Amino acid sequence: MARVSGPFLSVDASGKFAGLLVASIWKGRNYMRAYFVPTKSLLPQCEAARDMFKAAVEGWQALGGTYVDDWNLAAQDVYPPISGFNYYVSQYILQAGEPSIPEVAPKKSKVIHNR
């Protein structure tokens, strides 16, 4: 991935360029990468995973306002910080269905690569 320190032919660059490059912004940084066409795997395991994520997103969208607020509040205790949506989806996957908010928020060590 090429790192861009300034804009590419404009004030901001985003989108596909000549079917060869893709320019975008990630966390406030401009970047460019080669364009590729993603493939959709037809393996049963991949289909099952996509169905699970789809169900998790539909579950989040069906939640009422107070439940969304509860998940957003609970996500503040998670380290590293994530959104309430991400916390809900991760718990949906881990609990294999409609999740409940865990009593203890998961925390990952601040140590990187066991150093």
- Domains of the chain: which residue ranges? 2-34, 44-94
Structure tokens at 47: 């289909």
The DSSP code for 6 is S
- Amino acid identity at 51: D
Quickly count: other Cβ atoms within 10 Å of residue 91's Cβ: 19
How far is the C-alpha of 72 from the C-alpha of 70, rounded, in Å?
5
> How large is the average pLDDT for residues 73-102?
88
The DSSP code for 107 is B
Residue 115: band (very low, low, confident or very high) from pLDDT cuts 50, 70, 90:
low
pLDDT digits over 27-75, tens only?
A: 777 788 898 887 888 899 999 999 999 999 999 999 988 889 999 988 8
Cis upstream peptide for 80 (omega within 30°): yes
> How large is the average pLDDT for residues 11-21?
78
The pLDDT assigned to 41 comes to 82
